[in-house]
A and B are shown apart, each in its own frame.
Chain A
Amino acid sequence: MNDYYLKKLAASIAQDGEIKGANAQRVLKTLSLKDLKKFLSFLKTELLKSTVEVSSSDKLVAETKQLLAKKFQGKHLVEKVDENLGAGMMVKSYDMIYDLTVMGSIKEIAQKIEDTI
């Protein structure tokens, strides 16, 4: 199977943010070891692309969740609570990071100080 179809397959399987049993069986039975390796690599990327990780110091309220689901439509939201962030929210979506936390702001300031040392 060529890379294009492997990518397509990985994207369709990763749509829900998880691999369903039937799909997993099909993939394991039909792909060669070499293609399976490639497929897993593509799947990892696709899963990362289709997942949005939201970290905050408190649990998100329903209103915020709705808002985030609207903004990142079609993507699977993973919520994390991290008290060390101080306050605010950090969103990771594949290769994009939106750090809107107090800790993030402090780290930014620290980085600026470090650069001037």
Chain B
Amino acid sequence: MEILQNFGFQPTLFIAQIVNFLILAYVFKRFLYKPILKTLKERQKTIAKGLSDAEDAAREKELALSKKEEVLNEAAKEAEKIIDSTKKSAEDLKEEILSEAKKEAEKIITSAKEQADIQMESMEKRAKQASLDNSMAILEKALSSLFTKEERSKILSRSVKELKDID
């Protein structure tokens, strides 16, 4: 006790300080600590929510990316299919056009050959006919001076005889 007094310890002051402390502790707890704690809790909640939202967003982003990848793959496959189909169609069309063109060309050639043959035949016929006509014309001209009067008389007599024998 003497030692405590030597150090200036006064029990009344000490008790008063304890009371002061308790009052201060109560006031702090009542008016400062609780609102701060409440604010901290709310902030913690907001942060947690934010984190959760961020996680969700990241997950959704991942999902969207995956979906995008899937859609892109599908689209690429579809495009490839369309290109293949178009290529095939184009090939088929090309084949068809070539075949048609070949047939048409063959038809034209055949027709031209036929036409040429007909023309050739017609020309030959005309040439022969012209040759015959010319021969006839020459003969007709030459016929009047071909026979002598005696020969003509003989032939006429023979004609009269032939005419007599008819019927």
Q: What sequence of 0s and 1s flags, for each residue 26-39 of chain B, a beta carbon within 8 Å of any chain A beta carbon?
A: 00000000000000
Q: What sequence of 0s and 1s flags, for each residue 27-67 of chain A, a beta carbon within 8 Å of any chain B beta carbon?
A: 00000000000000000000000000000111010001001
Closest beta carbon of chain A to B60's beta carbon, Å: 99
For B132, the chain A residues whose CB sits under 8 A away are 110, 113-114, 117
**Binding stretch for chain A, among B9-17, B40-48, B101-109, B151-159:** B151-159
Are B155 and A102 in contact, CB atoms less than 8 angstroms apart?
Answer: yes
Closest beta carbon of chain A to B125's beta carbon, Å: 6
Chain B contact residues: helix, strand, loop or mixed = helix
Residue of B140, B151, B156, B166 most packed against chain A (CB within 10 A): B156
Are B125 and A64 in contact, CB atoms less than 8 angstroms apart?
Answer: no
Please report the C-alpha to C-alpha distance between residue A86 and residue B146 in the assembled complex, in whole angstroms. 7
Interface residue? B128 (CB, 8 A):
yes
For B73, the chain A residues whose CB sits under 8 A away are none
Are A83 and B159 in contact, CB atoms less than 8 angstroms apart?
Answer: no
Instruction: Name 25 interchain pairs, CB-CB below 8 A, sorted by A.
Output: A56-B156, A56-B159, A57-B147, A57-B156, A58-B156, A60-B156, A64-B156, A68-B160, A84-B140, A86-B143, A87-B147, A87-B156, A88-B158, A88-B159, A89-B159, A91-B163, A98-B163, A98-B166, A100-B159, A102-B143, A103-B140, A107-B136, A114-B129, A117-B128, A117-B129
Q: Mark A residues whose CB is within 8 Å of B.
A: 56-58, 60, 64, 67-68, 71, 83-89, 91, 98, 100-103, 106-107, 110, 113-114, 117
